[in-house]
Amino acid sequence: MSAEMILFIPLAILAVVTAIAMLFSRNAVYAALFLITNFAAVAVFYLILSAPFIALAQITVYAGAIMVLFLFVIMLLGAEQTGRTPSSWWLQPLSLVLGLILLGEALFFVFSQRGAFPAGGAPSPAFGNPVMIGEVLFSQYLLPFEVTSILLLTALIGAIVLSRRRA
Amino acid sequence: MVPTAYYIGLSAILFTIGTMGVLIRRNSIVIFMSVELMLNAANLAFVAFAHAYQAVSGQIFVFFVMTVAAAEVAVGLALIVAIFNTKQSIDVDQMNTLKG
């Protein structure tokens, strides 16, 4: 068993367990904290997959900015305790069955097509470093990058308009 | 060397947990967090394939997905706050005004 495999298995278990804990925790604050742990575990996967820039963006943008916004709204609304009142008795068993079917199909597809995936040898040391990302981002993907700024501006204005108190 | 299929399998598991969160939970903030989990699972698949194909474009796409997720969270949480201000609840079962 290689060193990467020894690192992969506990991290995969951590990611799956925190995701399931998020799914079943009653307190929304705990759910948010479990999700932050999950994002941190996935950030370590990005580091293993030679994507250090994406890993740090994951920590700052996802685990930092987005989840702080979530925690802020949860505490602002006082919505920590979530009553478990399913509207129909068949809703939860049905969603469990549908989810298991989805998981079974996805795993069957992945592991039956396993031979088609490239093996992925060790990439060059420069692969995925911020210099390379920046060069591709500001040459080949310049237009999508600029459109992103318009998207963020639209989201900013939309959030302000939605949260404005009506007279 | 971890095979690419393991990463894609983990991504599928995380995506399914996110889907079940959307289906099972009634708190709209937790549903929103489950959507974030699904986006994150898709990002993991992107980075795994970028590593396997030695293509940096996959990582660029993850960057764009993160931007869209940030915009989505800003608008979505503003919507949730607006709904809470009118209904005093964020339970999705209470949001049935459009029901015919």
Q: Domain spans of chain B?
A: 4-89
Query: The domain spanning residue A8 has which CATH number?
Result: 1.20.120.1200
Nearest-5° angle of CA B60, CA B61, CA B64? 95
More confident residue, A84 or A56: A56
Q: Tell whether A107 is covered by a domain.
A: no
pLDDT at position A41 is: 95
Q: Let me know if B80 is exposed, middle or buried by CB neighbors in 10 A (0-12, 13-18, 19+).
A: buried
Any idea which of A52-56, A92-96, A156-160 has the lowest mean pLDDT?
A92-96
Arithmetic mean of pLDDT, A122-144: 87
Q: What is the mean pLDDT of residues A45-61?
A: 92
CB B56 within 8 A of CB B50: yes
Q: How many residues does chain B have?
A: 100
- CB atoms closer than 10 angstroms to residue B42: 15
What kind of fold does domain B4-89 have according to CATH? Answer: Helix Hairpins (1.10.287)
Percent of chain A with pLDDT over 90: 54
Print the domain residue range for A42. 1-82
Tens digit of pLDDT for each residue in A6-41? 999 999 999 999 999 998 888 889 999 999 999 999
In this structure, which long-range contacts are made by residues A102-108, counting pairs with CB atoms below 8 Å and at least 24 apart in sequence?
A: A102/B16, A102/B19, A103/B12, A103/B13, A103/B16, A106/B9, A106/B12, A106/B15, A106/B16, A107/B9, A107/B12, A107/B13
Residue A5 and residue A60 in one domain: yes
Q: Among A82, A98, A116, where does a domain finish?
A: A82
Interface touch A69/B26, C-beta < 8 Å: no
Confidence tier at A120 by pLDDT (50, 70, 90): low
Both A73 and A130 in a single domain?
no
A66 pLDDT band, cuts 50/70/90, is: very high
Is residue A9 one of the residues assigned to a domain?
yes
Tell me what pLDDT residue B97 has: 79
Smallest CA–CA distance from A74 into chain B, residue = B29
- Model confidence at B26, pLDDT cuts 50, 70, 90, reads confident
User: How far is Cα B91 from Cα B85, in angstroms, rounded to an integer?
Assistant: 13
| Alpha-carbon separation of residue B49 from A16, A38, A40, A125, B14 (angstroms) | 20, 20, 20, 17, 17
Mean pLDDT of chain A: 87
Whether residues A138 and A65 fall in one domain: no
Domain end, chosen from A49, A82, A115, is at: A82
B87–chain A Cβ distance below 8 A for any pair: no
Alpha carbon distance A92, A110 (integer Å): 27
User: Which residues does chain A have within 8 Å of residue B76's beta carbon, measured at their own beta carbons?
Assistant: none
A27: helix, strand or coil: strand
Q: Is residue A70 part of a domain?
A: yes
Q: Which of residues 8-67 of B touch A (CB under 8 A)?
A: 8-10, 12-21, 23-27, 29-30, 32-34, 36-37, 40, 43-44, 47-48, 50-54, 56-57, 59-60, 62-64, 66-67
CA B5 to chain centre: 21
Whether A33 is in a domain gets the answer: yes
Taking residues A114-121, report their average pLDDT: 73
| Range 125-144 of A in CB contact (< 8 A) with B | 127-128, 132-133, 136-137, 140-141, 144
A121 vs A24, higher pLDDT:
A24
Q: Is the distance from CB of B53 to CB of A133 less than 8 angstroms?
A: no
Q: How far apart are CA B33 and CA A18, in angstroms?
A: 13
Q: What is the pLDDT of residue A167?
A: 53
**What's the pTM value of the predicted model, to 2 decimals?**
0.91
| Residue A72 domain-assigned (yes or no) | yes
Residue A110's pLDDT is 85
ipTM of the assembly? 0.92
**A60-82 burial string, b = 16+ CB within 10 Å, else e?**
ebbbeebbebbbebbeebebbeb
Number of domains in chain A: 2
Asked whether the beta carbons of residue A32 and residue B33 sit closer than 8 angstroms, the reply is yes
Q: Which residue, among B68, B84, B26, has the nearest Cα to A78 in the 3D structure?
A: B84
